[in-house]
Structure 1
Amino acid sequence: MSFYPVTSHRQRGMALLVSLVFLLLLTLIGISSMQNANLQEKMASSVTLRNQSFQNAEAALRMGESAVQVSTYTLPICSGTTQCAPPAESSSLTGAGFNSTSGVTWIAAGNGFYGVQNIGATMNAVNVPSNTSATLYRVTAVAIVGNNVRSVVESIYAKY
């Protein structure tokens, strides 16, 4: 006498097949979750590098503005449209030094570089007392973090 229930031969192994399909689905969901986590990690890293680059460029900009503030700081007025335009090399700059095209000398500052241009004098500039002449300086700062994260910031500094 047998105590095992009678099963049909057609249903043998069906639980194994259902289990394997269920395991396959769980594996696909797991792989998808891993890819999503990896993508989020890359995005977070990118945002971190971009913020770090911007902060470094801001710090270099402030150092450039501090250099211009010194009472003995002088720089000849730029000449021509090429040398008075914002320096084009800021998008490809990799180190300190003089650029003959723009006439800007790039100075290493912290984790970035800054360059200053004297763009001339003006009367009645914003935040300058009336009827006072002010010399305008363009301060451009560049910071590079990692292999390809670059930030370029610029300010116009009025010195009177």
Structure 2
Amino acid sequence: MAPRFNSPRSQQGGMALIVALIFLMLLTLLGLNSMQNATLQEKMSNSVQFRNQSFQLAEAALRVGEGAVSAATFNMALCASPAACAPPDGSSVTAAGNATYVTWVSAGEGSLYAIQRIGATTGAVWISGQSATLYRITGVGIVGNARTVLESIYAKY
């Protein structure tokens, strides 16, 4: 009897299909991981963009408030109590209007400012013996879920 040889095709027994499916599954997992990574990076870049825009809006609002105080005709009553002179809570402010002893003024879309008169200085502290009136100016910028609060103290002679 002659020896029997199996053809190479019958020896594989579907192994090529199993290897191909394993490679396909690995490539699919790699693709999904890459998509998740790209989505996360896009969210992070949007967050940075919102933060930068809110900072720019808050700084612009602060400059508008400082410009209002520097006007020759600007006059404001002194804070009535220490509670009234406390820094405004910029985290809860979302629109122009009155909130906790402070009047918020819109400085454009997404930006607000508030001014508080803190008091007067003594002449020994300032240049050439002049006294100055001090104002706290708070600027708030809101973009998306980012909020920036900036404050400055403005001395008016």
Question: Does structure 2 retain, via aligned residues, the 8 Å contact 1:125–1:134?
Answer: no
- The runs of at least 4 consecutive aligned structure 1 residues that moved more than 6 Å come to none
Counterpart position of 1:149? 146
User: Match of 1:34?
Assistant: 35
Displacement after TM superposition at 1:81 (Å): 1.5
Question: What TM-score does the superposition give when structure 2 sets the normalisation length?
Answer: 0.89
Distance 2:93 2:114 in 1: 11
Q: Which residues in structure 2 correspond to 1:81-120 (within 5 Å)? A: 81-88=82-89, 90-99=90-99, 101-102=100-101, 104-111=102-109, 112-120=111-119
What residue is the counterpart of 1:123 in the other structure?
Answer: 122
Counterpart in 1 of 2:133? 135
Residue 132 of structure 1 deviates from its aligned partner by 1.2
* Cα distance in 2, alignment partners of residues 49 and 73 from structure 1: 33
Q: Distance in 2 between matches of 1:124 and 1:27?
A: 74
What SS class does the counterpart of residue 107 from structure 1 fall into? strand
Taking structure 1 as reference, are residues 125 and 75 closer, same or farther at Cα in structure 2, changes over 3 Å only?
farther
2:74 is aligned to 73
Say if 1:125 and 1:158, in contact at 8 Å, map to a contact too.
Answer: no
Aligned letter for 1:109?
Answer: A
Q: Distance in 1 between matches of 2:44 and 2:15?
A: 44
CA distance in 2, matches of 1:125, 1:152: 32
**SS of residue matched to 1:133:** coil
Judged with a 3 Å threshold, the aligned counterparts in structure 2 of structure 1 residues 119 and 150 are, in CA distance, closer, same or farther, namely same
Structure 1 residues not aligned, in runs of 5+: none
Match of residue 52 from structure 1: 53
Is residue 12 of structure 2 the alignment partner of residue 11 of structure 1?
A: yes
- The 1-side partners of 2:22 and 2:124 are apart by 74
> One-letter code of the match for 1:21?
I
CA-CA distance at 1:8 after TM superposition = 6.6
| Aligned residue-pair number | 151
Question: Given the two structures, how large is their TM-score scaled by the length of structure 1?
Answer: 0.88
TM-fit CA distance, 1:7? 2.0
